[in-house]
A and B are shown apart, each in its own frame.
Chain A
Amino acid sequence: MNRNTDDLIESILKRQNKDGGWAYNRGASLQGAASWTEPTLYAALVLKASSADRSAIVRAMQWIGGRQQHDGGFSPYESVEQSTWVTSLVLLFSPEDFGAQCYQAALDWVLRQTGQEASWIYRLRLRMTSQSDRNGITGWPWFPGTVSWVSPTSTAIVGLRRAQLYTSSRQGEIANRIEEGKRFLISHTCQDGGWNHGSEKSLGYAADSYPETTGAALLALRGVPREPLSASIERAKKLAATCSFSEGVSWLRMGLAAHGEALPAQPASGKARNLRDECLEVLSERVTEGAVQL
């Protein structure tokens, strides 16, 4: 950690917007001061896991509640009228935080989402270009109507895992989607063992993995037997030893912790660049302490 965790939490708390949300960026000198759903959810998650002022969390939940769309999903920004992947992050909270109906609607929305790779027309297109359709195994897209990628799939798996604790409905469906999502991730492993955004090959060339997506995928793959993931865990350790940026180190820390591993002794962590990075730093610490389970 670059800074004391309590200082970080205090700093996060101070930057709550008047509307109850948080912006991505850090200070007034930077552009982009309006509240966004993702940093607000991360900030609220951090505050929930601390002894911070509850009223800040309540105001955050109210702002987040206003982002719910008619289809049950959540939009990423106040003026955006489209549910996106951020809905999966809502599932990290409990039904009491948003109200049981709102939570259930978000869960239903996440379960309805599949990538276009599951559609027959996309699979046909792949076959016509002599590519494997991977049996249509699907994860989650960033944006409805497109194909699945590693980050939103990892987030959805972690969110659904959390939802299993809170709901008695659709348990079989939730378990099936989690398992299929894990298969999606494993089928998109890069040659080096890690994960990038989701294109492990491009025109026949192997692409390198990224620290942040490797950590996120390993976190989502918690519970998968170690053997098939041994190359991935080794890759994560190598990436952590050289990763120079905060976001990557935080995700690797959480991903390795999910498999009983710690970061190398001296990760080369850089400074947090925005509020999301800061929240991930705190969360990764809480996850490794066992105070938060993702």
Chain B
Amino acid sequence: MAERIEPESARISRRDLLIGGVAVAAAGLGAAAAVSSRASSSHLPVPAPSQVAILRCESYQQSIYSTVSQAISLCRVSVKGKNVVLKPNLVEFEPGSVINTNPMVVHAALEAFRARGARSVRIAEGPGHRRNTLDLADAAGYFNVIPGFEDLFTDLNLDDVTNVKLVRPKSKLKSLYLPHTVLGADLLVSIPKLKTHHWVGATLSMKNLFGVVPGGVYGWPKNPLHWAGIPDTIMDLHNIFPRQFALVDGVVGMEGNGPIQGTPKTAGVIVAGHNMPAVDATCCRLMQIDPEQVSYLTGCTVPGEIAPRNIRQIGENINGNSTRFALIKQWQALRLAGGKV
């Protein structure tokens, strides 16, 4: 039997003007009504270098709590009095596998943001294939690791939604229904797994935002996103949320035919930063993937913005911490030339 192809999953061919933003249609969502001012184009200057923290973390042990806290401190995340939403990546029921974000990383983030005075910290996710999100979270260990998990969690597939108009979208979409929980967040924290991806090369903090799109409206999978173009919709979703932070679980990642059928690969890192393209570019280099060949990363930044000289690494450096992640043959062109990072 044939495979199902994902249409429009190919490249972005231009680096044209990108001005993203949203206008929330409904009232009662003051926090969500802010319009993103993120703007870039090929003739605009490269913004000031972004800071991205890399910290060593060899395994999912107690020490991960201090490592995650340290990453948040290094990035100077201010959350006092803010509503924080943590968005892990939950995909499939396979206890012991590396498909899902490890719950210890999420719990460590929860405790770190609480300790810094956040008004509320919620965990929220809307898986793309499976409808029974709480069962999936249970199988992934979230109930065991995070006390009171069910009361802290929102299933974004079934949350109340509002229509959000996309301003100058990259994709064919004109608007998206999005869950109130993420629209009302003062800070949306994307906590993906470090994985290769068979349709877009790598899945990291930006691709993880597919999980905020409600299955209750669009289905399982969220097929309208595929039809509108995966790289383009990744960029559109990135532009909707003006206040983001990325915290990547790279302790054990996935190589090969990710994001589901790949194999575990130990990378031993936690990667964090406010600028998602810079964080994802750093993660690519840690996997020895050239981020400037990943279309959604180049498509949402000005030329040179994600070059090594424009990302200030704090904590550890890339050279001493990169790991060669296997790539399927369709993505061999993503390999960093000469292993340079």
Contacts and interface: CB of A to CB of B under 8 A. Distances in A.
Nearest to B25: A79
Given A143-B219, A147-B223, A244 B135 contact: yes
A84 to B, nearest CB: 7
A191 to B, nearest CB: 9
Interface in A89-145: 116, 122, 125-126, 129, 131-134, 141-143, 145
Interface residues of A, number: 59
Contacts of B219: 84-85, 141-143, 146, 149, 152
B132 A25 contact: no
A82 to B, nearest CB: 8
B135 A270 contact: yes
A152 B154 CA distance: 24
A273 B135 contact: yes
A165 interface: no
A29 B151 contact: yes
Given A84-B219, A149-B219, A25 B158 contact: yes
Nearest to A210: B130
Q: Is chain A's interface secondary structure helix, strand, loop, or mixed overall?
A: loop
Contact of A244 (B139, B150, B161): B139
A77 interface: yes
A126 B2 contact: yes
Contacts of B129: 196-197
B1 A36 contact: no
B203 interface: no
Contact of B1 (A32, A116, A201): A201
Contacts of A196: 129
B218 A245 contact: no
B324 interface: no
Contacts of B115: none
A76 B217 contact: yes
Q: By CB atoms of chain B within 10 A, which of A25, A200, A203 has the most?
A: A203
A244 to B, nearest CB: 7
Interface of A: 24-25, 29-34, 36, 38, 76-77, 79-80, 82, 84-85, 116, 122, 125-126, 129, 131-134, 141-143, 145-147, 149, 151-152, 187-188, 196-205, 207, 210, 212, 244-248, 270, 273-274, 277
5 contacts: A30-B150, A31-B160, A80-B177, A199-B4, A203-B330
* Nearest 9 A/B pairs, CB to CB: A142-B219, A132-B2, A146-B223, A245-B135, A131-B2, A24-B158, A31-B154, A273-B134, A32-B159
Given A31-B160, A116-B7, A202-B3, 17 more contacts: A24-B158, A31-B181, A77-B160, A77-B216, A125-B5, A126-B2, A126-B5, A142-B223, A149-B221, A201-B4, A203-B330, A207-B261, A212-B132, A244-B139, A245-B138, A247-B135, A273-B134
